[in-house]
Amino acid sequence: MAQTPFYRLPYGDRRDLLAQQSHLTVQQLAKIAARQRDADADLIENYLTTYGLPEGVAVNLQVNGQTIAVPMVTEEPSVIAAASNGGRLLTSAQGITTTVERREVMGQIVLSHVPDRTGVKAWLTAHQDEILKVANEVHPSLLGHGGGARSLRIRCIPPHWMSLDLFIDVGEAMGANLVNTICEAVANYLKEHLTVNVLMSILSNYATHSLVTADVAVPVDQLATKTVDGLTVAQRICDASDFAEHDPYRAVTHNKGIMNGVDAVVLAMGNDWRAVESGAHAYASRHGSYQSLSHWWLTGETLHGELTLPLALGFVGGATRVFPLVVINQQIAQITSARDLMGVTAAVGLAQNLAALRALVTDGIQHGHMRLQLKSLALSVGATPGEVPAVVGRLSGETQPTTAQAKAALAAVREANLKK
Ligand SMILES: CC(C)(COP(=O)([O-])OP(=O)([O-])OC[C@H]1O[C@@H](n2cnc3c(N)ncnc32)[C@H](O)[C@@H]1OP(=O)([O-])[O-])[C@@H](O)C(=O)NCCC(=O)NCCSC(=O)C[C@@](C)(O)CC(=O)[O-]
Ligand SMILES: NC(=O)C1=CN([C@@H]2O[C@H](COP(=O)(O)OP(=O)(O)OC[C@H]3O[C@@H](n4cnc5c(N)ncnc54)[C@H](O)[C@@H]3O)[C@@H](O)[C@H]2O)C=CC1
């Protein structure tokens, strides 16, 4: 008799099979059971348990004239402290200003092995209005939300492909499913009217038509540390920014620092961080080589910063109404639209970048980061939440504490507790 596929097994059988194959202990199974959430079981396939990530709140962010707190979901120590620190450093009369010029998602209908590309192009050009009409008939509700297909573009891609690009205003949604459904309907229309080989129909995550820019200008005095004056710090930040435009090895790390903030906000807001990540890095390569996404420069005694990102984020749809925390997080950050969300996310990315650069070009990253990393190190060697402060206390004298030192500190704490 054929074996029942794993995904068709009842939950308990799947878990028991895994326990058997992986030799899970009773204690390990109890941990899996403790984190199991019925609501999550229908969200993904082959559900086992829920892997929770901590959520914190970055403060001090002044965005478009409002001071806001921004929920962030991350496992990395010092990210939220850095975002708050960046927000504090970027506070000025204006704070961070954000701009979203347009918000459209592109869908692609890819034609392959097209023998007469000139003829197909001419046909598509002549039938633009019909194609947009077909697109708009698929999702009448989208028109009700003020969205809809806006324009199209035809590209010939050597040696034998064509891409019909549809630009769709997706209202307040991220739009992936909306756009995919529209593209599949348009593909069917093309197949009915043309002899073409449609290779695929899918949105593009290279969201060049959903760009958001965050800008800031702050007096250099604000950037001074205990040992370095503000102008020197600002000059060094600009030098670091220039270097990241010239060296891809540095640019990737520079952008990782920006994405520390962006991803954490995107996660807290129930959005698709894979889409954001892939789009951001493609945008960083738009000039041919991989470069920094942000740019810092000085005019007199003012430091300017700018970050532009492709961010097709959704205020509704996707997982935004699946996780109850998302609505609460939107409220905490005073976000009431997809455009607001794009702006706040870019603002956090800019603040995050400034905090990292300032640390790098002054005290070095480990000074502030390691101080906050100690709690994570204590947990990683098995300290219970109650033991963490004592273990951190024992490690705080070390400049680069190792796992071995953390284990020794934990053993010492436990021994001291036994003696109490
Ligand atoms: C770590 C800090 C903030 C220390 O900063 P500091 O100046 O040493 O400490 P501070 O006590 O003066 O604190 C300054 C502000 O930081 C915040 N802050 C300070 N401590 C906390 C805390 N415990 N919890 C919450 N917030 C905290 C808080 O806003 C505080 O202001 P206040 O409210 O006191 O007026 C600073 O050194 C920093 O911003 N460092 C950057 C850290 C960073 O970027 N971490 C990410 C991980 S490293 C990485 O992945 C990216 C990287 C670096 O590779 C990117 C790149 O290379 O470009
Ligand atoms: N390559 C990619 O990025 C892909 C991503 N996805 C996933 O697709 C999901 C996002 O797709 P969406 O189409 O955004 O979500 P969705 O499938 O939930 O559609 C949005 C829904 O919100 C409704 N809606 C209510 N108010 C609206 C308003 N004001 N504006 C617009 N729509 C409104 C729409 O009618 C629609 O039913 C995410 O979960 C993403 O992970 C799926 C396939 C590929």
pLDDT tens across the length of the chain (420 residues): 678 999 999 999 999 999 999 999 999 999 999 999 998 998 999 999 999 999 999 999 999 999 999 999 999 999 999 999 999 999 987 899 999 999 999 999 999 999 999 999 999 999 999 999 999 999 888 999 999 999 999 999 999 999 999 999 999 999 999 999 999 999 999 999 999 999 999 999 999 999 999 999 999 999 999 999 999 999 999 999 999 999 999 999 999 999 999 999 999 999 999 999 999 999 999 999 999 999 999 999 999 999 999 999 999 999 999 999 999 999 999 999 999 999 999 999 999 999 999 999 998 988 877 778 888 899 999 999 999 999 999 998 887 888 999 999 999 999 999 988
CATH number, span 368-419: 1.10.8.660
Q: Which of the residues 281, 304, 369, 375 is marked catalytic?
A: 369
- At residue 365, the pLDDT reads 86
| Ligand 2 binding pocket includes 172 (Cβ within 6 Å) | yes
| Confidence (pLDDT) at 401 | 86
Phi, psi of 114 (to 5 degrees): -85, 115
Q: Annotated catalytic residue: which of 272, 306, 340, 387?
A: 272
User: 297-327 burial, b if ≥16 CB within 10 A, otherwise e?
Assistant: eeeeeebebbbbbbbbbbbebbebeebeebe
Question: Would the CA dihedral through 120, 109, 197, 189 be positive or negative?
Answer: negative
Q: What is the pLDDT of residue 229?
A: 97
129 annotated active-site: no
In order of 124, 149, 182, 344, 345, the CA distances from 166 in angstroms are: 12, 7, 9, 27, 26
Residue to substitute in 272, 274, 330 for testing ligand 2 pocket (most ligand atoms within 8 angstroms of CB): 272
Pocket flag, ligand 2, residue 177 (CB < 6 Å): yes
- 172: annotated active-site residue: no
299 bridge partner residues:
302
pLDDT in tens, 33-58: 999 999 899 899 999 999 999 999 99
Ligand 2: residue whose CA is nearest its atom 4:
176
CB-based contacts of 126, cutoff 8 Å, min separation 6? none
62, 85, 236: residue to mutate for ligand 1 pocket, most atoms within 8 A of CB: 85
Ligand 2 proximity of 318 Cβ (cutoff 6 Å): yes
Which residues are within 8 A (CB) of 400 and not within 5 positions of it... i.e. 6 or more apart? 366, 370
User: Is 301 annotated in the active site?
Assistant: no
Q: In this predicted complex, what is the ipTM?
A: 0.95
Tokens 């969200």, located at residue: 43
Atom 18 in ligand 1: residue holding the nearest Cα: 81
pLDDT value at residue 93: 75
| Residue 361 pLDDT | 97
Note the pLDDT of residue 1.
62
Q: Which residue out of 16, 55, 76, 363 is catalytically annotated?
A: 76
Report phi then psi at 295, rounded to 5. Answer: -145, 130
What is the topology classification, in CATH, of domain 104-203?
A: Alpha-Beta Plaits (3.30.70)
Q: What pLDDT was estimated at residue 373?
A: 84
Q: Using CA atoms, how far apart are residues 43 and 58, in angstroms rounded to an integer?
A: 28
**How do the domains of the chain map onto residue ranges?**
6-42, 56-99+211-363, 104-203, 368-419
Residue 82 CA, chain-centre distance (Å), reads 17
Q: Please tell me the residue having the least CA distance from ligand 2 atom 2.
A: 176
Ligand 2 site, residue 263, Cβ cutoff 6 A = no
* pLDDT value at residue 312: 97
Q: How far is the CA of 199 from the centre of ligand 1 (A)?
A: 48
- Tell me which amino acid residue 391 is: V
Which atom, in ligand 2's list, is nearest to the CA of 272?
A: 41
Has 221 been annotated as catalytic? Answer: no
Give the ligand 1 atom nearest the CA of 86.
Answer: 39
pLDDT for 376 equals 87
Question: Which atom of ligand 2 is nearest the CA belonging to 316?
Answer: 22
Indicate which residue's Cα is closest to atom 8 of ligand 1. 368
3-state secondary structure the chain: CCCCCHHHCCHHHHHHHHHHHHCCCHHHHHHHHHCCCHHHHCCCCCCCCCCCCCEEEEEEEEECCEEEEEEEECCCCCHHHHHHHHHHHCCCCCCEEEEECCCCEEEEEEEECCCCHHHHHHHHHHCHHHHHHHHHHHCHHHHHCCCEEEEEEEEEECCCEEEEEEEEECCCECCHHHHHHHHHHHHHHHHHHCCCEEEEEEECCCCCCCEEEEEEEEEHHHHCCCCCCHHHHHHHHHHHHHHHHHCHHHHHHHHHHHHHHHHHHHHHCCCCHHHHHHHHHHHHCCCCCCCCCEEEEEECCEEEEEEEEECCCCCECCCCCCCHHHHHHHHHCCCCCHHHHHHHHHHHHHHHHHHHHHHHHCCCHHHHHHHHHHHHHHHHCCCCCCCHHHHHHHHCCCCCCCHHHHHHHHHHHHHHHHHC
- CATH code, residues 56-99+211-363: 3.90.770.10
Catalytic member of 75, 256, 367, 398:
256
